[in-house]
Structure 1
């Protein structure tokens, strides 16, 4: 990350790149200080990426299994102590680089049917709980630490309100989380990331101006949220339509398609911020829209497969770098602990630990009460509507949902976006204290959840989910029947056009036999045919796959399949198509 003032050096650097003389490289024409800064920046980025790579393997090698985020924080601390390089984080640059792609990907990949199924519960957790947390914990933090202004306390409460399901998955890897519970956590995280960061924006504005008006904030919230979501949707639809138009006329380039998908979250974010709307909600809206926009504008299978791999890598790298950065910042934060605690009117650094534990306890208590009340309300509502007897929620379920509210990457990314100074140039009040407390909340919540969640989840059962196997089998049969009809039509067309009907009949029969075996539940191995027919076999196979995909799209449009089934069946078709196009 560039140090303060480094951005101002870039114009001079670009000038020297243009005016480097013969025999001079661009780097050698730069002054020593600029060249040293470039080398330091590249070195620290490589160190961070190396730490992310090592963290996954190291977490499995440890005698006591540890969540990957905790290992990444530890490796970041080692980097911070063992190197002379330091990362000076620019808040706006950090916000732009990390949050849009992560939130876009969450919105893109979250199962939509499961999200809509438990939408009321998710909204209660993601919106109601966030507002209660911001208000309640804001006043509590200000009461506990009077030296922290109320607006800054609200900002700290806003950044610790979002949860992180990726950290929960890492913690509970040894004990599988019930699917429905994980879907609720994912949906909650998607929405409370946005709502918490929007609340952070208002808290920062109040701290910068010293003015807060509830009616004005409510109207501003409607504009910020509504315009942000609309911009995200419109940008995604415009880009996907333009991409489909270009592809239909000049073909598809896999690399360009992947790059376009990477640019969409940043374009949505910047467009929203340009009109003073929420770039965060624009990224979320763009991600959710991406799922529906691609249903009718299918890309090549190889593009989807490579794009998924690229996005998996980006998600792993960005989440990992955020935790490694937290560890890298810890030595400097701890070194300034005495000065930080002095702001609170105390002299002993252990007071900071007391504050962290108190904030974690307050967050857990609020979440436990809200989850219990939400589940009781849901049970009462369903009982009145359906007239059936429903049991009260098991205490372990309420406790697991409460402790699953682990803070992670979004909390750290949010707190690091606190401005360095107020509009008059004075330092932002209690910024270091807020960062220290947020970092402590992340670490303590990870530690508590890593110890207690596996115990609570062991043997915990959720209400049974209806089986999706029958729907998937019916979809496979429908796709196979459509493929057989398409192959027969293509076979007749080739016979009439080129003659030699027997050769085409033999190649088409091989492919149709595969589909008939799928329909009849057979598994016969027919072996290899002659080389001469192999090319025709691939041709007919691709025709069948195209028909399968068209039939699957019809089922998706009529919402007769769940998101998980859609993903699984699409993946099967992609793998088959990639095999026969190779």
Structure 2
């Protein structure tokens, strides 16, 4: 099969599995995609793709990490930097050393440096798989931010550790001083180079759009999509971490976007484009992983013969040891930082054993682990085969599958046992921001005395009539927002859980009615176009307005429904407590 046909097939299957996952909610999307990839490549005549690790790292990892750096809430990322760094750097070092010695003890024929290389390969986590598994299970939001921040940074630290372990195997030389010096150069250099490229793009974009406005929105979005590749390539060319360069470019670009509130078309195109890129690339990554499984497993088991069960037990033991080391590090090394962040109000959720267990099970391995394993060279400097390379690849692949299965089964069970976290802090902040925006809009419509006296009387009457109608609409929105807010009066504080549930349910009904009205408006516009009373351009413009309104309304409705669910659980618990025993 030609390369172009293969790419198109992988993208199509990624889209189809995304649709199938909506119907099979019990099975996480990554497992469906891995299983499908393995199924279509398992037969002798199946689809087989040569996996180039360097090409894989260039094509798939930079845009996904750039998008993560661009989307991750920067306030939470910097507020929780201590636990994030302890997981992204400290846990990687702890894993490489602890797991490396364990693997060498368990498999004596594997040299210690190769065991360290395997430990480095399996140290990066995959936040994409975690978010896919916990999408509707209620993983606490700030814990998810910590996991995303860890995944952003530990890809680089794990691959850097792999580089030094492979170099030690090739040369037989190892120096902690050289490792520390090279790591600092690669990490800080990658972050600095990525920030510089992101800042340079932001300056150039501002210079162009000041002259052209939103006319060049499409071209700017295309350049933004190419930016992570540029950051990665430049970083790798100068010998720093291209992965961290892509992350830093994404974070810097997001900061620059804070000053671009007026560029609506560019912002909407950017959001839609990145959503599509992330969905396509995430699907392609797990499908490619599945496509490699049969050949990796078949080759290793063919060499092992009747010892296949021993290799499978090695993979299981490494996976369990990996999670155990993660649990130990979370309990001993990170717990104090989480408690401090909770006391300072930076982290709403209270650290607990169940939260620690959920964070441990969220240590799922994914695409970067496979790419790192396959990037191990075939030969040593003297031309001899790299010791234990096939076994390393097999065990890394087995670790990916075991951690995915353990996370898919264990995470839902743990999260269901955790107490309801209540309304997220971000929901209250969003409501306060909406209130502030509505009140500011009302205040902006009030004319001062000088403006009123100098205005034409006819214009002034028209202005006051329009301002009155618009003010009424804003006040209705304020009433809706206040209805969703828990009241602060002593009487309201004494509301029973059932009264709170009913009040929030009324808010949901109101939002559902507004959403239904939007749908009727849109259907009417399409009917007008079909009757030739408006043209296509008018239809697109009018529908775009309704689409934007619906996106905002659906977000409010989803949040309101979560609040109703939480209030319903609280009402049920309250009624259970009131029952005579």
Q: TM-score, normalised by structure 2?
A: 0.74
Tell me the CA shift for residue 145 of structure 1. Answer: 2.4
Q: Which residue of structure 1 aligns with residue 64 of structure 2?
A: 102
**Cα offsets for 1:141-174 (capped at 9, x unmatched):** 2232233333332222112112222212322345
Superposed counterparts of 1:189-208, under 5 Å: 189-208=151-170
1:153-172 maps to which residues of 2 (within 5 A)? 153-172=115-134
2:326 pairs with one of 347, 361, 367: 367
Q: 1:349 aligned to 2:319?
A: no
User: Which residue does 2:359 correspond to in 1?
Assistant: 401
Residue 341 of structure 1 and its aligned partner are, at CA, apart by 3.3
Among residues 295, 300, 307, which one is paired with 2:263 in the alignment?
A: 300
Aligned pair partner of 1:52 in 2, 5, 14? 14
Task: For structure 1, list consecutive stretches of 5 or more residues without a partner in the other structure.
Answer: 1-38, 529-544, 546-566, 573-582
1:216 to 178, 185, 205: 178
Determine if contact 2:217/2:265 at 8 Å carries over to the other structure: yes
Q: Distance in 1 between matches of 2:252 and 2:182?
A: 24
1:485-534 per-position Cα deviation (integer Å, ceiling 9, x unaligned) = 655679979x979x9665566555544543354456699x9xx9xxxxxx
Q: Report if aligned partners of 1:240, 1:297 keep a CA contact under 8 Å in 2.
A: no
Q: Which residue, out of 379, 382, 388, partners 1:430?
A: 388
Matches within 5 A, 1:98-497: 98-173=60-135, 175-252=137-214, 253-298=216-261, 300-341=263-304, 348-374=307-333, 376-378=335-337, 394-422=352-380, 427-461=385-419, 467-468=425-426, 471-484=429-442, 486=444
Distance apart, 1:362 and its partner CA: 0.9
Distance 1:297 1:417, change over 3 A: farther
Residue 231 of structure 1 and its aligned partner are, at CA, apart by 0.5
Give per-residue Cα distances to partners, 1:299-344, cap 9 Å, x unaligned: 62232222222212211221221211121111211221245438xx
Contact 1:322/1:413 (<8 A) preserved = no
The CA distance in 2 between the partners of 1:521 and 1:448, in whole Å, is 43
1:178–1:461 CA contact under 8 A, matched in 2: no
* Structure 2 portions without partners, runs of 5+: 482-509, 515-520, 522-544, 546-550, 557-581
Structure 1 stretch 192-201 or stretch 511-520: which is displaced more? 511-520
CA contact (8 A) 2:87 2:334 kept: no
Q: Distance in 2 between matches of 1:447 and 1:304?
A: 38
Question: For the structure 1 residues 392 and 227, does the alpha-carbon distance in structure 2 shift closer, same or farther, using more than 3 Å as the test?
Answer: closer
Change in Cα spacing, 1:360 to 1:72, as seen in structure 2 (3 Å) is: same
Contact 1:174 1:454 (C-alpha < 8 Å) held by counterparts: no
Count of residue correspondences:
483
2:88·2:157 contact (CA, 8 Å) conserved in 1?
yes
Report the more deviating stretch, 155-164 or 78-87.
Answer: 78-87
Task: Give, in whole Å, the separation in 2 of the partners of 1:366 and 1:149.
Answer: 21
Q: 1:74 aligns with which of 31, 35, 38?
A: 35
Deviation of the 1:45 alpha carbon: 1.7
Task: Write the distance in 1 (CA, Å) between the matches of 2:162 and 2:250.
Answer: 22
Q: Secondary structure at the match of 2:221?
A: helix
- In the alignment, the residues of structure 2 paired with residue 424 and residue 492 of structure 1 have an alpha-carbon distance, to the nearest angstrom, of 86
Report the Cα distance in structure 2 between the residues aligned to 1:286 and 1:502, rounded to whole angstroms.
52
Provide the rounded CA distance (Å) in 2 between the counterparts of 1:487 and 1:151: 70
* Secondary structure of residue in 2 paired with 1:348: helix
Task: Assess if the C-alpha contact under 8 Å between 2:141 and 2:424 holds in 1.
Answer: no
Q: Distance in 2 between matches of 1:123 and 1:485?
A: 44
Shift of residue 295, structure 1, vs aligned partner: 0.9
Could you tell me whether the CA contact under 8 Å between 2:285 and 2:367 is conserved in 1?
Answer: yes
- What's the CA shift for 1:469? 5.5
- Any conservation in 2 of the 1:180–1:462 contact (CA below 8 Å)? no
Sort the Cα spacing of 1:392 and 1:237 in 2 relative to 1 into closer, same or farther, 3 A.
closer
* Deviation larger for 452-461 or 81-90: 81-90
- Work out whether residues 319 and 409 of structure 1, in 8 Å CA contact, stay in contact via their aligned partners in 2: no
The offset of 1:359, in angstroms, is 0.4
| Local SS of the residue matching 1:87 | coil
Q: Alignment partner of 2:417: what SS? A: coil
Deviation, 1:50, is 2.5
Residues 465 and 484 of structure 1: CA distance in aligned 2, closer, same or farther (over 3 Å):
closer
**Shift of residue 133, structure 1, vs aligned partner:** 0.2
Deviations 1:245-290 (A, max 9, x none): 1000122322112112111111111111121111111111112222
- Output one character per residue of 1:377-420: Cα deviation in whole Å (capped at 9) or x when no partner: 3488689x99xxxx996433332221121112222233233334
For residues 401-443 of structure 1, what are the alpha-carbon distances to aligned partners after superposition, in whole Å with 9 as ceiling and x for unaligned? 2112111222223323333444565544433222211111111
Alpha-carbon distance change, 401 to 512 in structure 1, aligned in 2, over 3 angstroms: same
8 Å contact from structure 1 (residues 91, 419) kept in 2: no
> What is the TM-score when the length of structure 1 is the normalising length?
0.74
Question: 1:442/1:227 Cα in 2 relative to 1: closer, same or farther (>3 Å)?
Answer: same
User: What is the RMSD computed on CA atoms of the aligned residues?
Assistant: 3.6
